[in-house]
Amino acid sequence: MTDNIRTIADRFYQRLFTAHPELIDGMFNRGNQATGAQQQAIAGAVVAFARAQVESPEHPVERLLTRIGHKHASLGVEPGMYGIVHDHLMAAIVDVLGEAVTPPVAAAWDEVYWLLAHALINIERGLYSGHGLTPRTVWRTWEVARRIPETDDVVTFVVRRVDDRLVRRSLPGQYVTALMPMPDGVRQPRQYSLSHADDGRHRQFSVKRIHGEGGPDGEVSTLMCQDLRVGDRVTLSAPYGDVVLDDSGRPVVFASAGIGVTPMAGMLSHLVTAESGLRVMVLHADLDEESFPLRGQIVDDIAKLPGATLHVWYERGADAGMPVDDVFAGLMDISQVQLPDNALYYLCGPLPFMRYVRGALIERGVAPSDIRYEVFGPDLWQADVED
C-alpha cells in the first residue's frame, strides 16, 4: 500500500473536507493543501510510523510523534478528531485499493492508525495539561504593540496581552500558531518562532513574506506584513515546539540561514535574560547584511554574552558594517571556523542548508544526537534531514 499512499492521502482530504468543510476554518493550511504539501505530510507520517512498527517495534518513533504532537497542540486538535480522520482515511484506502483491501489488510492498517492516534492523543493531553489548557482554550487574543521592519520581506511583531490571565513563559526555541482571518472570512493558521524571550506581558515573533515565484504569494504572510498594524488584535496559541535549548552547560553553536535565524534569536535572548555564561557561537548565512533578519537584536545580544561570537556568510560578498567576528563570501562553509569541543548544535534554515551543515558536522565527528534542528513547513517527518 505504501506505493499508493500519496494517492490515498489526496482522496482522504477530498473526502474529509467534503464531509467537514468547517475544518478548513482554523485547522488546516489551505496553501499547503493547494501545493500538495499537506498530503505529502500525512502520507509520510503514516508510512514512517508503519515502517517503524515493522522494523523496530521496540523503539517507538518518539521524535516523529513529539513533533507532530506539539504542532497539533498548537492548533487545538481534540481527541475526537482522530475518529473523524480514521473513518475518512480508511474509506480512502478502500477507494484507492479496492479489492486488495482484504479484511486482514484492513485490520492491520486499522491497528497501525490507532497505535499512532492513541500515542499522539497521550502526548497532546500532556502538552495541554502542562499549560493548564484544553484544546478549546489554547487560543488567546493579543494586541500589536510594535511593528519592526527587519528587511524588505521580514517584519517583527511585538504583541502584548489584553487580559489579566497570566502568561506562561515560553521555552527558548518554541513557536506559536497565529490564527488569521482571511478576506473571505476563513481563518488560517501559521506557525512562527518566538524571536525574543517573554517578559510576562509581551511576545515577539517575526514573519517573512512568502513570494510565490510563479505561484500565488503566501496569503497569511502577505496579509500580516502588509496590513497588520499597531493596535490590531491577533489570535495566538500557547507556545509549543520540541526543539528547545538544552541547559546542560555545554557550549552552544547556532547555525541558521535566512528566516531560520528566528528561533536562534529567541534562544540567544533567553541566554541574555538568564545571564548565561555558556560559550556561544552563532553562524548565519544570507544574501547580504541588509537581508539578515533581526541582525540588530542579535548583535546586541552577542555583546551581552561573555565569549559569544558571530560569524556570517553573504552570497553577495564579504561586506559587513556591523561588528562580527568573521565575514565570508559565498555559502556557509563550517570548515572556515574553529568549532568548540563538546558542543550542542542547533540548525534552522532551508532543507538543503541543514542537510549540508548536518553532514559536515558528522564528518567532523559530531554525534548525531548532539545536532538539533527545526524544520519549517508541514512535512516535519518526510523533510527529516536524517533521511
Query: How many other C-beta atoms are found inside a 10 Å radius of the C-beta of residue 316?
Result: 13
> Using 50, 70 and 90 to split pLDDT, how confident is the model at 373?
confident
Tens digit of each residue's pLDDT (9 = 90 or more) over 272-295: 999 999 999 999 999 999 999 999
SS3 156: strand
Active site residues: 82, 124
Tens-digit pLDDT profile for residues 47-96: 666 666 656 554 557 777 888 899 999 999 999 999 999 999 889 889 98
DSSP state for residue 325 in the 8-state scheme: S
Stronger pLDDT, 110 or 215, i.e. the higher one: 110
Residue 387 has pLDDT above 50, yes or no: no
Condensed to tens digits (0 to 9), the pLDDT of residues 12-35 reads 888 988 999 888 888 877 766 666
Closest CA relative to residue 266, chosen from 383, 332, 173, 148: 173
Q: How far apart are CA 298 and CA 382, in angstroms?
A: 31
The reported pTM is 0.89
Q: Which residue has the cell 535566512?
A: 258
Name the one residue in this structure whose C-alpha cell is 513557536. 175
Q: Which residues contact 247 (CB under 8 A, 6 or more apart)?
A: none
Across all residues in the chain, what is the average pLDDT?
88
Cα–Cα distance measured from residue 245 to residue 249, given in angstroms and rounded to the nearest whole number: 10
